[in-house]
Amino acid sequence: MNGTRRGLNRVLLAVLGLVLVGAGSLAVLAGSNQEIAQGWTRTGTELWAGLQERLAASRILGQDGSWWSVAGMGLLVVAAILLLCWIASQGGGRTKLLATRGDGDGTTTVDTAVASQAIKAALAGNKQVLASTVQSWRVKDGSGLKISLQARKGASPQELVAVLDELVSGLDALLGEEMPVLIRINAGTRSRFARSERVA
């Protein structure tokens, strides 16, 4: 789990895809039809001539450029910043704080490491678990806890979930609140190469 804005990704990708489809179909039409190709060049030349007139009319005194070019450059800079924001919005949202509670006298915070060490210690003796990772991420009011396990090949997910349920309810009692919990049971290279437990 992280803070990726998935709706935004899909909307922007759809817009980009539609623009590409539009440009592609225009090129296909112009490539297959002489009239459309000539129409393209006619319209394009007219537009470019009009634009050049505009540029000449708004020349900056004593300089080569025009105010329109400056405005265009500004727009490009804004576009570049927005693209950087889009890239930066992927992922993120991780936090080291598991819980925070404050009243008038002060604030108590619990680190994710507390939950992490407790869960790792509890799973250390479990032969069905090869490795575990505990992370937390920010949600609307507080944090969510993600527990990832790497299961031994052939381990019953049901039994692993039963063990984790117990750990989570212990954590709930310890913290005094029920935070969102995500449990991921994964297979990985270690599951592939480690021996499977013959007696399960």
Partner 1 sequence: MRQEAMIRRMGRRETHSSRAALAVVSASVLLVVVLWLILEGALSMTGNGPLLLAPAQLMHAVAVMGTATVPAALLAAGVVIGLLGLLVVAAAILPGGKPRHILANPRSAVVVERDVLAAAIARTARTAARLSPAQVTATVGPRTAQLRLHPSSGRAVDVDAVTEAVDKELSGYSLARPLTPTVSVAHHGAVGI
Site for partner 1 in 56-85 (CB under 8 A): 63-65, 69-70, 72-73, 76-77, 79-80, 83-84
Least distance (Å) between residue 108 CB and partner 1? 23
Q: How many residues does the chain have?
A: 200
Which residue, 65 or 109, has its beta carbon nearer to partner 1? 65
Complete DSSP assignment for 99-162: EEEEETTEEEEEEHHHHHHHHHHHHTT-TTEEEEEEEEEEETTEEEEEEEEEEPTT--HHHHHH
Q: Which residues contact 128 (CB under 8 A, 6 or more apart)?
A: 151, 152, 155, 156, 159, 160, 197, 200
Least distance (Å) between residue 71 CB and partner 1? 11
Interaction with partner 1 in 25-54: which residues (CB under 8 A)?
Answer: 25-32, 34, 36-41, 44-45, 47-48, 51
Q: How many residues bind partner 1 (CB under 8 A)?
A: 81
Least distance (Å) between residue 110 CB and partner 1? 18
Residue among 112, 134, 135, 144 that touches partner 1 (CB under 8 A): 144
170 binds partner 1 (CB under 8 A): no
169 binds partner 1 (CB under 8 A): yes
176 binds partner 1 (CB under 8 A): no
Angle separating helix axes 67-88 and 34-57, nearest 10 degrees: 110
Tokens 């789990």, located at residue: 1
